[in-house]
Structures are given as structure tokens and as C-alpha cells.
């Protein structure tokens, strides 16, 4: 996991396998950023994910809801059309092709 902040937006680039164990590390980092650091704008980049365990889908959706309840926004890139459809649409969730495109969804 690679984390960068650009103009108040947290860019999280994931790589390798996203399993239940690795998702827990991702979840802990997000909790720290959301609740301790007060970050509200996130870009999740899934382009370097080799495999994603379908069982983590509900955990990912729960984490998105937590972010939305804190008035946050999330932009995701690198997901397949199937994963986008499974995750569904939300008012504060956007799917883009690359990270640079994500910047247009945030006004800080």
C-alpha cells in the first residue's frame, strides 16, 4: 500500500493480493486517516491489485459507508466493470479511469 496526500486528497495505491488479511491492514490505515487525521477525500487505486478476494466485498462496502457518514468522498480507479456493478452507486462515490481524473470530483 502506498499513501500520498495531494491538495488535501488522500491517494491510496494498493498492490498485490487483496485478501481478508491484507484488507485488515488497509482497514486499520483507513481508520487512522479517517478518525485520527480527519481526512475526508480518498482516491483508491486498484490498478496494481493482482487478485481480490470476493469475500472482502462486504468489508469494503462497510468501509465506504463509514467514510460517507463522516461526510467523505471516494473515487476509485482500476476496478473491473463487474466490481463497479457489485459495489454499486452512491452520491459520494465515483469511478474513474486514472488518478488525475479523480481531482475534478473534489472541491477543497
CB-facing half-sphere around the CA of 28: CA atoms within 13 A: 6
Domain boundaries, the chain: 2-105
Q: Are 7 and 108 in contact (CB under 8 A)?
A: yes
Q: What are phi and psi of 33, to 5 degrees?
A: -65, -40
pLDDT at 11: 93
pLDDT at 1: 83
pLDDT at 108: 57
The strand ranges marked E within the chain are 2-6, 9-18, 41-52, 73-77, 93-96
Divide the 108 residues of the chain into consecutive groups of 10 and give the mean pLDDT of each group.
86 91 90 92 93 87 93 93 88 92 80
Topology of the domain comprising 2-105: Transcription Regulator spoIIAA (3.30.750)
Q: What are phi and psi of 63, to 5 degrees?
A: -65, -40
With cell 466493470, the residue in question is 81
Amino acid at each position: 500500500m502506498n499513501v500520498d496526500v495531494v491538495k488535501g486528497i488522500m491517494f491510496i495505491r494498493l498492490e498485490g493480493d487483496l485478501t481478508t488479511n491484507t484488507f485488515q491492514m488497509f482497514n486499520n490505515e483507513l481508520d487512522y486517516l479517517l478518525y485520527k487525521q480527519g481526512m475526508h477525500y480518498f482516491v483508491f487505486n486498484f490498478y496494481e491489485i493482482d487478485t481480490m478476494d470476493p469475500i472482502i466485498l462486504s468489508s469494503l462496502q462497510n468501509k465506504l459507508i463509514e467514510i460517507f457518514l463522516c461526510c467523505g468522498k471516494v473515487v476509485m480507479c482500476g476496478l473491473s466493470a463487474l466490481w463497479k456493478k457489485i459495489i454499486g452507486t452512491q452520491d459520494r462515490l465515483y469511478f474513474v479511469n486514472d488518478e488525475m481524473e479523480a481531482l475534478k470530483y473534489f472541491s477543497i
